[in-house]
Chains A and B, each alone.
Chain A
Amino acid sequence: MSKFQAAAAYEPTEAAWELLPFRFEHFDEGRVLLTNMVGEHVFVTDDELVSVVDKALPATSPLVRQLRGKHIIRDAVEDLPLELLALKTRTRYRRLPEFTGLHIFVVSLRCEHSCPYCQVSRQSADKTRYDMSAETAQKALEMVFESPSQSIKIEFQGGEPLLNFPLVEEIVARAEELNAVYQRHLTFVIATNLALLDDAVLEFADAHDVYFSTSLDGPADLHNRNRPRSGGNSWELAVAGIRRIREALGIHRVSALMTTTEASLDRAKDIIDCYLEQGLSNIFLRSMSPYGFAVKTKSHAAYDVDRWLEFYREGLDYILELNERGVSVSEQYASIILKKMLTNEDPGFVDLTSPAGIGIGAVVYNYDGDVYASDEGRMLAEMGDTTFRLGNLHADSYRDIMLSDALLRPLEESFTLSAPMCGDCAFESYCGADPVRHQATTGDFLGRKPSSAFCRRNMAIFRLLLERYESDPKARSVFLDWANR
């Protein structure tokens, strides 16, 4: 007698599968997007969706195999899909217990630029009372190392932090002393307009492995229009500074960020070409923040979501075209989303994560000792709304600050899985909470998503990326590359 059963014994039994948690969104004519608990996606037709929900698909159907592979359904006797989903969920949230990795020191509010969109209410260069003191910096450093994060990034911001360079030097030295005890992976970044970059700064950066982040809004006419300074030469100084840093320290020691203004919206290709001319192969096509001087100067009201989306689409399609021509260039926001969409990793981008990145991902130590949940929270305070002020270094302990209602309430109330519309949304795994933006624009941490510009903008980008991924093999290849960096 054979010890082997007949082939028929190994055939799957009819309707032996059951649904796992998933969400769906009607994507376009004839297609429905399904996403599982960790955001892995598959497209089906309307009729197929009904068959899935009604469990009317035969077990031998190719769609059943596909849905099993994506953990939309499982064989009723299998535990492995549950274990895999749990593993993927743990992977997605693994950064959370690391807690605050980014610590922003606002060493001065002074700045010699007068950018109308600036989120900081800057003070003119001769008012030294807007500089952080050594005592405040020391208190901030003590709080930095209270964070359990094994990777600590200290970022110097302003105003213009090079206007208080002696304090930057002192903070770096003191942080390195403390780190001899704490043994974290410690990095430093100076966010500067580079107008004041000199040999002393470069030598210091070389000695202490300091990185630079600067603003580059595009070609000279656009950049200088956005970023006026005495002499009208902001672009020239920024570009010269980028070159100097790359020559002295290496090509990866400086990165750039652009800010979108009304004047930027017809110049997507020019901006990208400018970045490539400067040897920068990564560009972040950002929306404009509704904070600080941007509101005071009404420059935020000058554009709307649809116009910005046109700008973004044009920029992304141009970048894809460049990649097809063999020019390696990436778009940062798309890369962040694609990592969430196509892998189980969450890059922890502070403005697009849930729980929100405020406090958990980043914290800001202002020049006066006030501690804010995020850079945007500080900007909101400059507009008179101190909702995200967590405390003061000279009065409050780490416990007081990190367990304050000012942090815990927005974290809880903006949690996307608890939010109307977000909790049901097929794109929720790609998205995030932005309680500061919603507070600034609606007076509420959550906002009402049907009228939220944040929601509208992000859903449009998710759809755009999925549409390109599914329809264009070359775009798919580029997106997979970005997602896996």
Chain B
Amino acid sequence: MIAREVVLDGTAYSADAIQRAAYRFSDRLSLELVVDETVFRCVLNVETDDGQEADLVVSDFRKEVLDQVLRERIRNDTESVRNVILALAFSKTGLTSDEE
């Protein structure tokens, strides 16, 4: 097991995004998340004894956190257009809430 610390700015990343990323990596690492004023300290316990491999996993984890941040932001920004289109898809099925 190799421990690596990743520090993420709390104004650019949310705990939710970090935790979602950590969940997706739970087959390769475990996370201890500490809120330290304006940053998140992520201690990643990577399940390997190979330093290079650990660095690659950490690099991939950072990409995943970014991915989750974007998913969260775009999901929120596009909620209304997504709901309109999915509602249109189900509109004639008899399954919409005003037809229950």
Contact = CB atoms under 8 A, between A and B. Distances in A.
Interface of A: 93, 96-99, 146-148, 355, 360, 398-399, 402-403, 411-412, 415, 417-420, 423, 443-444, 446, 448
Contacts of A96: 85, 88-89, 91
Contacts, number: 62
A22 B53 CA distance: 41
B70 A420 contact: yes
B56 interface: no
Contacts of A444: 24
A47 to B, nearest CB: 30
Nearest to A408: B86
Contact of B63 (A398, A399, A417, A448): A448
A148 B24 contact: no
A400 to B, nearest CB: 10
Contacts of A398: 95
A93 B85 contact: yes
A413 B86 CA distance: 12
A97 B88 contact: yes
The contact size tier of chain B is: 20 to 34
Contacts of B38: none
Nearest to B84: A93
A99 B93 CA distance: 7
Contacts of B94: 146, 148
Interface in B62-83: 63-64, 67, 70-71, 74-75, 78-79, 81-82
12 contacts: A93-B85, A96-B89, A96-B91, A148-B93, A148-B94, A403-B95, A415-B85, A415-B86, A417-B82, A417-B85, A418-B78, A419-B71
B91 to A, nearest CB: 5
A423 B92 contact: no
Contacts of A399: 95
Contact of B86 (A147, A355, A443): A355
A411 B86 contact: yes
A420 B88 contact: no
A443 B24 CA distance: 9
Interface string B33-62: 000000000000000000000000000000
Q: Report, nearest first, the 3 A-B pairs whose CB atoms are least far apart.
A: A420-B70, A148-B92, A96-B89
Nearest to A418: B78
Contacts of B79: 418
Contact of B88 (A93, A148, A419, A446): A93
Contacts of A148: 92-94
A206 to B, nearest CB: 34
A448 B92 contact: no
A415 B67 CA distance: 15
Given A98-B92, A355-B89, A415-B86, 15 more contacts: A96-B91, A99-B90, A147-B93, A148-B92, A355-B86, A360-B89, A402-B90, A402-B93, A412-B86, A417-B82, A417-B85, A420-B71, A420-B74, A446-B71, A448-B67
A444 B70 CA distance: 15
Contacts of B75: 418
Contacts of B88: 93, 96-97
A97 B91 contact: yes
A415 B82 contact: yes
B93 A417 contact: no
Contacts of A360: 89
Contact of B67 (A97, A412, A420): A420
B89 A99 contact: yes
